[in-house]
Amino acid sequence: MNKKILTALVLLTGFTTIVNAQDTKDYFNPLSFGVPTLTIAPDARSGAMGDVGAATEPDVYSQHWNPAKYAFMYSKAGIGVTYTPWLKKIIDDIYQLYISGFYKLGTEDRHAISASFRYFSIGRIDLTDDNGNVYSDVSPYEMAADVAYSLKLTETFSMAAALRFIYSDLGVVGYDIYPGSAFAGDVSGYYNNYVMLGNSECMVGLGFNVANIGSKISYDNGITNNFLPTTLRLGGSLLMPLDNYNTLSLNLDVNKYMIPTPPDTRTMTPDEKDAAMRDFYAISPVSGIFKSFSDAPGGFKEELQEIRYGLGLEYGYDNKFFVRGGYFYENPNKGNFRYFTLGAGFNMQVLRLDVAYLISTVPSNPLDQTLRFSLSFDMDGLKGLMR
């Protein structure tokens, strides 16, 4: 099989295992799921702060992180576009395109509808025979489209629900591999209030998002059914004014995949291993959510290893210029994604530009040097310019 096809299969059926787990003392047992591109931070602002977003100040890209935040947007409507050249250290034509937008309903400023579209392309792959002759080409891709409704239940708390359609086409002819599709939903909440710290009035944000609760997805006509990356994300944020022009925000996200842990098959016979994996793939998505908190072969210690952390800082000047930094940590036995992030943003009333850059702390990490570009527009500002 063409080497690039192998790379595509790894990327689109679970790239958590491609990061080098060097110097790990315990069992390397990452979680396995389909459509891993659903987990990619889509925007440069959150991507520059260690992939946090459950409780950060609301923006047009809240659809991925916590759509309940849209109910607290000051603007009536907005739209944003992010382009991410992905895994450039492996292949030079992989990218993700993400579009997100929202609209506040009515005059009470309590309701909002939002939507997003994600397209992840693996590029064009030439298919060759045993002699290296090209006889065809394919273009693997994944996509997801979703809509959400958010409602402000009180002056300080909102909730939202989202519905998502997912499609994954590995583009491979033969090998018993076929396109897969699935449906999923999100449930999220967001708390936002002001507190006095010393002489400063600070904004506190708390948020949660249970994302990608849905059906399984299959790439072999139902023989093997893969879990979606159902994720529980909890976040906290503190926005502090330093003076009349300068602000600083501290943001923390904690998240865990709510899917079962694969069984430890190291000491099993081939027949026992096959039976264990059949039982694993037969687990329903709902059962998998509940099992995910207590089924790790290594017990509670391994369950703790499945928790991932993101920490981000954002400095803002006059709400026009921003500098950001962050760190993301995943246990070496569960995928070993560990990296620093940097970025900046420019807010020009109608238009906002954000850039993020990733610096891996793990050798051989294909995510190293990932760059994101986000461009968003405030519809209220555009209407003001057109008057």
CATH of the domain at 324: 2.40.160.40
Tens of pLDDT along 81-109?
A: 999 988 776 777 789 999 999 999 987 78
In sequence order, the β-bridge partners of residue 80 are: 100, 376
How confident is residue 8, by pLDDT bands cut at 50, 70 and 90? Answer: low
The answer to whether residue 133 scores a pLDDT higher than 60 is yes
Return the H-helix or E-strand segment holding 373: strand 371-378
- Which of 47-61, 128-142, 220-234 is predicted most confidently? 47-61
**Residue % of the chain over a pLDDT of 90:** 58
Question: Buried b vs exposed e over 214-235: b needs ≥16 C-beta within 10 Å?
Answer: bebbbbeeeeebbbbbbbbbbb
The answer to whether residue 145 scores a pLDDT higher than 70 is yes
Decide if 259 contacts 33 (C-beta within 8 A): yes
**Residue % of the chain over a pLDDT of 70:** 87
Decide if 148 contacts 115 (C-beta within 8 A): yes
pLDDT, position 382: 58
Mean residue pLDDT of the chain comes to 87
Decide if 168 contacts 35 (C-beta within 8 A): yes
Tokens in use for 183?
A: 């449906």
Question: Lowest-pLDDT range, 11-20, 49-58, 190-199, 343-352?
Answer: 11-20
The answer to whether residue 188 scores a pLDDT higher than 90 is yes
Q: How many beta carbons lie within 10 A of that of residue 175, not counting itself?
A: 12
pTM: 0.89
Q: How many beta carbons lie within 10 A of that of residue 379, not counting itself?
A: 18
Position with higher pLDDT, 313 vs 16 = 313
pLDDT, position 19: 43
What is the helix, strand, coil percentage profile of the chain, to 5? Answer: 15, 45, 40
- Domain residues for the domain of 69 are 3-386
Which residues does 178 contact at the CB level (< 8 Å), separation at least 6? 218, 219, 220, 221
Calpha distance 331→154 (Å, rounded): 38
CA 44 to chain centre: 12
The answer to whether residue 12 scores a pLDDT higher than 50 is yes
Domains held by the chain: number: 1
Burial of 122 (0-12, 13-18, 19+ CB in 10 A): buried
- Give the amino acid at 201: E
pLDDT, position 56: 97
Calpha distance 328→350 (Å, rounded): 31
pLDDT, position 91: 72
The answer to whether residue 13 scores a pLDDT higher than 90 is no
How confident is residue 380, by pLDDT bands cut at 50, 70 and 90? Answer: confident
The answer to whether residue 373 scores a pLDDT higher than 80 is yes
Which residues does 87 contact at the CB level (< 8 Å), separation at least 6? 11, 94, 366, 367, 370
